[in-house]
Amino acid sequence: MTILRTFSTFSKSSGLNMSKEKSNAYFNGVNEDLRKDIPQVSGLVQGNLPFRYLGVPIKTTRLTTHDCSPLIDKLLNRIRGVGARKLSYAGRLVLVQSVLKTLHNYWAAMFILPNGIISKLESICTNFLWDGEVDYIRTPLVSWEKICKPKREGGLGLKNDVLWNKAAVGKLVWWIASNSDHLWVKWINHTYLKGLNWQTYSPSTNSSWSWRKICQTKEVFTDAYTQQLWKPQKGQEYTIAKGYGFIRQKQTDVPWVSQIWNRWSIPKHSFLVWVQQHNGLNTKDKLQKIGVNMDSICCICGQDREDNNHLFFSCQYSRQIIMEIGKWLGMNIPYQNLRDMER
């Protein structure tokens, strides 16, 4: 009755009414008589777990691969709904960043996703990026590990799904650590913590799988809380992006990032140059190793072995083209500097 009075008060205040046809009652820890009385009094039909809310499954136990199948289906539908194979590498990269990764981020912000689902998501994104297909067809030109680095470190700026999911769960850890004014935090304090210190708390073996995972994630951010990187004050709160930056292994910035990624460059040209910087192009020496070509001699000059360095820097015709472009632009292009950028 308390819940019905609350709904009634809300309706009078907002002018919005609950749709009983679209609502269900769910029970846990109540006797059979109460299960029968509540639907009769409220007019609600008893529902069963799991159910779907805002497109995601709601259940009391850990998510399974089957539970996450709608996420995979949505990704596949987005890919098949566009002329993916007609897009350039750069076009498919934009689609992965703006559409496919957004779907994953939506789920990752609410659930601890199974490792099998995250591997499947990465596989779909990898195959789509390099060939416009869902299934594995060809070997990627550059590894997924390198792709998931920031551009300043030589990557394409995509997020590592495993680390992003941990950073998203880290938001729950932050809510508990800062005693945030959320109903869920109050329930955690009443059910699990019971006045114990959150920083030193360890879950019992009979705790739920999700709660144990949250506690494991807390250990990942122990140093951050010790250093007080995030504080409750406005502008210093925890965000998923900050958490991701903390747990990600940072690497040295590459010297050529501004030469490739800038507002004057055509995106598909920038992407191909980026592949070249990672020695990912299918030059004749690489094709010979996998048995596609019988020889590895440069087809332009016909003198030396065609590899990444020769094709762009050592070939006499490449040098001539670079110098002619410099004359056309009215620029003196130092050839040695280009070789240094390549290294």
pLDDT by residue (tens digit) across 38-94? 777 777 788 877 777 777 888 777 888 888 888 888 888 877 766 666 788 888 898
pLDDT of res. 56: 80
d(CA 117, CA 185): 28
> What sign results for the dihedral spanned by CA atoms 310, 312, 313, 317?
positive
pLDDT of res. 38: 78
Helices (H) and strands (E) in the chain — how many of each?
18, 4
pLDDT of res. 274: 92
pLDDT of res. 62: 82
Say if residues 236 and 230 touch (Cβ distance below 8 Å). Answer: yes
Q: CA 56 from chain center: how many Å?
A: 17
pLDDT of res. 151: 93
Domain boundaries, the chain: 2-48, 164-247, 282-342
What does pTM read for this prediction? Answer: 0.78
Tokens at residue 286, please?
A: 């690489």
- In whole numbers, what is the pLDDT of the chain averaged over residues? 83
b or e along 212-228 (b: 16 or more beta carbons within 10 Å of the residue's beta carbon)? bbbbebbebbeebbeee
Say if residues 17 and 25 touch (Cβ distance below 8 Å). Answer: no
Helix (H, G, I), strand (E, B) or coil at 51: strand
Q: Among 36-45, 64-73, 180-189, 202-211, which stretch is predicted with the lowest mean pLDDT?
A: 36-45
pLDDT of res. 83: 65
pLDDT of res. 148: 92
What average pLDDT does this structure show over 150-165? 92
Q: For a pLDDT cut of 90, what percent of the chain falls above it?
A: 11
Tokens at residue 63, please?
A: 């998510």
